[in-house]
Amino acid sequence: MRLITQLAHSFVAGDTNAEAIQAVAKLRDRGIMSTMDVLGESVKDRNTAEKAVAAYLELLDVIKAAGSDAHISLKLTQQGLDIDTEYCFQNVRRIIQKANALGTFVRIDMEGTPHTQRTLDLFYRLRREFDNVGIVIQAYLHRSEKDIHDLNKIGAKVRLCKGAYKEPEELAMQKMKIIRANFRKLADSLFREGAYPAIATHDFKLIGWTKDYAAAHAIPNDKFEFQYLYGIRTKSFQKLAAEGYRVRCYVPFGTHWIPYNLRRLRERKENVWFVIKNLFQK
């Protein structure tokens, strides 16, 4: 538990809105944008889901009052996806509708494969009504090439990441060399046919490839951004921002940091090594 507490202090920006918005302001002073995530997932009862909705509605007011340009990120299982799909849709719609009125962008996070299609289905419904909503695609899934193709058709804003959940071989690529290759393939598709790709990786090889790709294809720095997790390789991403690239930090916060960190450590052995390594790598 002591290790989990140490990890939480390193990778979670506090328990409260005030602490998180302070962390966001410090990042902004270093040239880094933010997307804020109220910790929570896998909600099984409506009372807890409604508290999560209320927390995001309050956060939107806090962002506005602070004069911040932070985005927000949320998980559908936190908003009731495992309770009832329509119930979840209405919850998330309330958040996106308010965010739209306040000029704030909302990113729907991607979870494990039992939720992939349902997440995309709800995203497509919301995207028909709102422009201020984006989605996440995980590069290690075999289905992701088609998903990217379909999302590009509607001009969806996509955050591309490798993927952190443990998935079976029939659904997901297992070897890092193959995952990296697919990441590059999907990123190429997003740059050529998509709308403002968000390249979410801490992998130096993929960051270098993205910089080289953008330079070779004369893609301006304001047409894409890099994204990373709070507390991971902070100095490296500050350097990217100083070089003129758009960089956004994923800032999780709230009182549910214990299940958040335990889930990340339990899900895949690669996550344990990744976290331990990044305690010492800046």
In the chain, the domains with their CATH numbers are 2-278 (3.20.20.220)
Q: For residue 150, indicate whether it is catalytic.
A: no
CB 59 within 8 A of CB 100: no
d(CA 153, CA 92): 23
Give kind and range of the element (H or E) at residue 247. Answer: strand 247-253
CB 185 within 8 A of CB 193: no
pLDDT in tens, 83-111: 999 999 999 999 999 999 999 999 999 99
CB 76 within 8 A of CB 118: yes
- Catalytic residue, chosen from 37, 82, 109, 147, is 109
Give kind and range of the element (H or E) at residue 137. Answer: strand 133-138
pTM of the full predicted structure? Answer: 0.92
- Catalytic residue, chosen from 37, 82, 107, 159, is 159
Q: How confident is the model at residue 268 (pLDDT cuts 50, 70, 90)?
A: very low
Percent of the chain predicted with pLDDT > 70: 88
Q: For residue 82, indicate whether it is catalytic.
A: no
Q: What is the pLDDT of residue 48?
A: 97
145 or 11, greater pLDDT:
145
